[in-house]
Amino acid sequence: WLSFMNNITFCKVFTPGRLCLLGEHTDWVALISKDNYGQAIICNLNLGIYLRGCKSNKFFYKFGRKSIHSDKDTLKNYINDDFFSYVIATFYVLYNRYSIPGVYIDCYKMTLPMKKGLSSSAAICVAIIDLCSKIYNLKIPLKLQMELAFEAEILTGSKCGKMDQCCALGTGIYDLKFYDDNIVINPIHVPSKLIFVLVDLNGNKNTTKILSDLNRAYIGDKGVLNNSIKQFLNQISNCYVDQVIESLKSNDIKTVGQLLNEYQMLFDEHLTQYCDELKAPLLHNFIDCMKHHSDVFACKGVGSQGDGFAQMLLIDENRAREIIRFVKRKYGYQCYLITSE
């Protein structure tokens, strides 16, 4: 592999992760609840996945010290591999659609933490599709790239919706509306840059279980409790997304923070009863601590929620760095300073 790398010109791609400000879980609700739409706001990050690759007659993928290689006939046997499932599923989808013989892929850099609610699984699917499209000159349109990445995730057994694949849009802030199988995407212009601190809570998070539990609760017949999850994901969440969009456009970041904090409280009230993962003691202890810091306008869960990451919204970058020093000193948590520019 190393000698091979020295004698070839590689195609390179970068795919960002995404931060969901609010509206989590409404994408898959739109897929199973035909009479309702979902809505979310995402901020695509400067953290992401870097791939390089070239043509091959077999499939080869390398990340750090781990690697996997297979011919196209045995590829599907590896889809349930814990570490490589999304990678294998993505190439399997591409092979079936475009009959490409194989590809060498080196994930030579990753700044996006995995399994923390920042869409690492969708990002790797999108990145591989983008890379193969460039290597084989497939000219796959952006929307189709997102569809293929979604197909690959579903192939692994995930019950995700179509929000995460919007990392294919590149950096920026976007309003996403989910209508059944379709997505309407509108960029959001915010007059001033947004400042986020993302905090790795060093906890365990099982997104597959969260999605499975909530899907089961939403579809099942559980009387009053069942109505609670539908009320939040069909009505309350969309109402808050609309309010946050208006506040972002008018540059009222303080109100954005208030709305995000209220959203987290309502999320907990309506959804944690269906999934133990969402009780997230690390996340909620951290949120309680941050309530005492006036510079932190909002503190809430990330992605599907759970004890993966927390997000904080601030308005001053210097104060954000002070908060990072405080968090590292008090908790030892890894922090990432993210801006919308």
Distance CA 180, CA 28 (A): 9
Determine the pLDDT at residue 223: 45
Kindly report the number of other CB atoms within 10 A of residue 184's CB atom: 11
Distance CA 233, CA 281 (A): 23
H or E element that contains 335: strand 334-339
pLDDT in tens, the chain (341 residues): 444 555 567 899 999 999 999 999 999 888 887 778 899 999 988 889 999 999 998 899 999 888 888 877 777 776 776 778 899 999 999 999 999 999 999 999 999 888 777 888 999 999 999 999 999 999 999 999 999 999 999 988 887 788 989 999 988 899 999 998 889 999 999 998 899 999 999 998 888 899 889 988 888 755 445 578 889 998 999 999 999 999 999 999 999 999 999 999 999 999 999 999 999 999 999 999 998 899 999 999 998 999 999 999 998 999 999 999 999 999 999 999 988 76
Determine the pLDDT at residue 69: 84
Determine the pLDDT at residue 74: 75
Grouping H, G, I as helix, E, B as strand and the rest as coil, residue 68 is strand
* Pick from 182, 225, 194: nearest CA to 42: 194
Kindly report the number of other CB atoms within 10 A of residue 15's CB atom: 28
CA dihedral 145, 150, 151, 154 (to 10 degrees): 160
Which tokens go with 118? 């920042």
Q: Where are the alpha helices (DSSP H) in the chain?
A: 2-5, 26-32, 85-98, 120-135, 142-155, 207-219, 223-231, 237-249, 253-271, 281-290, 317-331
Distance CA 84, CA 139 (A): 25
What is the spatial order of strands in the sheet that 298-301 belongs to? 298-301, 309-314, 195-200, 334-339
In sequence order, the 6+-apart residues with CB closer than 8 A to the CB of 59 are 68, 69, 70, 71, 72, 75, 88, 91, 102, 103
* Pick from 200, 194, 195, 196: nearest CA to 328: 200
Distance CA 1, CA 62 (A): 10
pTM above 0.75, yes or no: yes
Determine the pLDDT at residue 122: 92
